[in-house]
Amino acid sequence: MRALVVEDEAFLAAMIAEGLRRAAITVDVALDGAAGWRKLQLGDYDILVLDRDLPGLHGDDLCRRAVAAGLLTRILMLTASTTVPDRVAGLGMGADDYLTKPFSHDELLARVLALGRRTQPALPPVLEHAGIRIDTAGRQALRAGQRLALTRKEFAVLETLMRAGGGVVSGEDLIEKVWDENAGYDQNPVRVALSRLRTKLGGPPVIETVPGIGYRISTEVSSPDTAIADGADGAGQADRTWRQAR
């Protein structure tokens, strides 16, 4: 999932972004409405966390522009106003949800995750295939019943591939969904993350490379016979055991 936070208070914007990143969400930040609109036009965002009272381009106007442009981005509007008419007005201009300041990070994260599930066809909160099980809400991944010690990026890559349901995901799409705007078009981070992820998943191999196109979760892999321990060492041992048994 990829989110854009548009908030003019730099400290609050950084706190929101870091909290979302801890949940394996890719986050970009803009500190005013005009910069937020430019990023929305260039990036494919699932969620927009939008402060209503922005300098320059007001949050209301940014919300209207996003809706008028037909963007599929879901909008969570933040405001210091607690009155019912203001909340109704915010929703009326196209926001999908509304959260008043001050707010708890847990509630913000829950609302972002809920909106994220609405940006794509409905999927169960737990995805399973080839002995792999990921809990998207709890941010946990397991294979053969053993928890995988994945980094945020590794978890996000695995979730993106699992959500594709066996379809091919290009390196460009992985960059767009998992890395922030500073990654550019360099696919080396994708290759590194996939290499580490494959090691931790162990055998039999489940992530296929489709030459010249991208990557996918294999639809023909059987469940692993050997339990995988936490971390790369345990996964590597499981992979060696599988290879020896072939």
Q: Which domains does the chain have, with CATH numbers?
A: 2-116 (3.40.50.2300), 126-245 (1.10.10.10)
Give the per-residue pLDDT at 124: 61
pLDDT tens-digit readout, 148-186: 999 888 998 998 888 887 888 888 888 877 876 666 566
pLDDT tens-digit readout, 11-29: 999 999 999 988 888 899 9
pLDDT tens-digit readout, 51-87: 988 988 999 999 989 888 888 899 999 987 766 676 6
Residues 6+ apart with CB under 8 A from 14: 29
Strand runs labelled E in the chain:
2-6, 26-30, 47-51, 74-79, 97-100, 126-129, 132-135, 140-143, 146-147, 207-210, 214-217
Task: Supply 170's token pair.
Answer: 């290009």
The C-alpha atoms of residue 126 and residue 115 are separated, in whole angstroms, by: 17
Q: How many CB atoms lie within 10 A of CB 233?
A: 12
Report whether pLDDT(224) > 90. Answer: no
Give the per-residue pLDDT at 222: 54
Band of residue 226 on the pLDDT scale cut at 50, 70, 90: very low
pLDDT tens-digit readout, 95-148: 889 888 889 999 999 999 888 877 555 456 678 877 888 887 778 899 988 899
Band of residue 244 on the pLDDT scale cut at 50, 70, 90: very low
Query: What one-character-per-residue DSSP string does 110-152 give?
Result: HHHHHHHTTSSS---SEEEETTEEEETTTTEEEETTEE----H
Report whether pLDDT(228) > 70. Answer: no
Give the per-residue pLDDT at 123: 54
Q: Are strands 126-129 and 132-135 parallel, antiparallel or unpaired?
A: antiparallel
pLDDT tens-digit readout, 205-214: 889 988 888 8
Q: Provide the residue count of the chain.
A: 246
Report whether pLDDT(46) > 70. Answer: yes
